[in-house]
Amino acid sequence: MSGETGGSDMQSAVATLNVAAGSWGESAAPALPSADEKLWGMLANIAGLFFLVGPIVVLLLKGNSKFVKFYAIQMICWSIIGIALSVVLGVLFTVLAAVPMVGMLVINVLSPLISLLFLGLLIWLTLKANSGLIFKLPMIGPFAYGKAYDA
């Protein structure tokens, strides 16, 4: 009887995993990436430090690999969001700079914190690519996955 329960638990876990495949988070790549693909996946993430230019160059050089294409497209999308966020925060910080003490405190705390979070995310994604895993960021990850693997 416990064997039947274990089998059904396993089937429900697989079904849950299949449903979650379209959502964000970590999953295995459909095909095991080669060492070269892992390296270029890592480079696509590191190239995110150069915003749009780096990931586009990686996409142009190694876009024939679905694994590399996923990480490059995800970084291009992340770069676009980062640029838009920079503009919004630039305006916000300009307004806050007019507020004595509080404005400068918020700017001096928030700006480095956002930069550290961005850098931490790039390191995390780079490590995931090195492991041969797909890590889909919320909202943009499923989009990038669809462009890379469903195209």
Domain spans of the chain? 33-149
Q: Model confidence at 28, in pLDDT bands (50, 70, 90)?
A: confident
Torsion of CA 117, 130, 71, 63, to 10 degrees: 150
Q: Model confidence at 151, in pLDDT bands (50, 70, 90)?
A: low
Find, among 96, 54, 92, the residue nearest to 76 by Cα: 54
Q: Model confidence at 22, in pLDDT bands (50, 70, 90)?
A: low
Q: Model confidence at 23, in pLDDT bands (50, 70, 90)?
A: confident
Per-residue pLDDT tens over the stretch 36-59: 999 999 999 999 998 899 999 999
What average pLDDT does the chain have? 84
pTM: 0.78
**pLDDT of 94:** 86
* Residue 129 CB neighbour total at 10 angstroms: 28
**Residues in CB range of 42: below 8 A, 6 or more apart:** 126, 129, 130
